[in-house]
Amino acid sequence: MYGALRPLLFVLPPHVAHAFAFAALWPPEHLAPLRAVLRCVARPADDARLATTVMGLTFRSPIGLAAGFDKNAYRPRALAALGFGHLEIGTVTALAQRENPRPNLFRLPSDRALVNRLGFPNEGAERVAARLGAARASLGIPIGVSIGKSRAISPEDIQAVVADYIAAMERVRNVADFVVVNVSSPNTRGLRTLQAPRHARTLLTALKDALGPSGRMLVKIAPDLDEGGLEDILDVVEQLGLVGVVATNTTLARDGLRTPSRRLDAIGTGGLSGPPLRSRVLATVRRIRARLGRRVVVVGVGGVETADQALALIRAGADLVQIYTSFIYGGPFIASRIARDLGEALEREGVKNAADLVATDLTAPGADAHP
């Protein structure tokens, strides 16, 4: 059905199609009987092979929704009913802010990809947290919240940056099962400089202290880090004992695309997501797992459209897998479909649980038990 509807949606500008999708999700978001019907249609049969326990949380499926789709927690109940194993809300900032000037979202159909330069538009962490808190009892799956830097805060003033992130953290920590610190979006000026070791250590230490010893905090990194940059941020993750890493955000690279260069030039800057990112994500996930062993949770995100691709990420070392662009191209039931197909693949291989496939070729010294 979605295959027939998608060409009509893709005639619309991306921001209009997004608004249309949110309008379609309004009834199940606010009407419990409709959510129950949607859950029955979308949710794959309970499959113990898919259940994943990390961070002290149980995920009925490793397939979750990445940050970026529901920035303001407008539709968490409806999205939870679509068969996702978890949701990541946001990215939210301490200060409410508008999106960057339009056009700021572009489709690359030849590559099944997106380019965005939205820049963390959201209503502010306080309002988003209040809305999410009101919905939490109806969700039934783990919920993460991504936090980022407010645009008004200069990236050169690291103390102001820290205070800004802490303000966002303090507002969302009580409504989130885990918090993801986004220091890797290419669409907020200077944000990626926070991945540098000195700034990352200052920021993440302060946020970890603000979250408290029982909190679960992950950091989301860019796919464009060179080998040295990746090692540097992983050193910080290890030294601070962070719970995990989300790999990765969108990329600034444009190599290997089918989309004509003149179209890419017309679009301009922005983060690329979707299948062109997949090989970078696989390599990054594999490196994180080899470097840090089983001490951290690794969330792989980028280009996953099928169960085989999700399985490849899990084999590379991902505990959890997130999708976003494939949700746009594949339709509302794609998480359910990937989870169902993943369960069937595990059955064919005689695997009792997806977690058993997480990379065991751990070359980093001192790898210990998984959290």
Separation of first and last alpha carbons in the chain: 41
Q: Which residues, at least 6 apart from 291, have a Cβ–Cβ distance to it below 8 Å? A: 231, 234, 364
How many angstroms separate the CA atoms of 205 and 136, rounded?
A: 28
3-state secondary structure of 346: helix
Catalytic residue status for 185: yes
Closest by CA to 96, choosing from 17, 171, 181, is 171
How many angstroms separate the CA atoms of 82 and 2, rounded?
A: 14
Angle at 368 between CA 364 and CA 369, to 5 degrees: 140
How many angstroms separate the CA atoms of 221 and 192, rounded?
A: 9
3-state secondary structure of 179: strand
Q: In what order do the strands lie in the sheet with 271-273?
A: 105-108, 113-116, 271-273
Distance of CA 104 to the CA centre of its chain: 19
Q: What sign does the dihedral 69-109-182-16 (CA atoms) show?
A: negative
Q: Which two tokens stand for residue 200?
A: 């990352």
Closest by CA to 14, choosing from 6, 24, 3, is 6
Q: What sign does the dihedral 87-91-92-97 (CA atoms) show?
A: negative
Q: Which of 61, 185, 273, 336 is catalytic?
A: 185
**Contact (CB, 8 A) for 348 and 311:** no
The DSSP bridge pattern shows strands 271-273 and 113-116 to be: antiparallel
CA atoms within 13 A on the CB side of 235: 13
Give the catalytic positions in this structure. 185
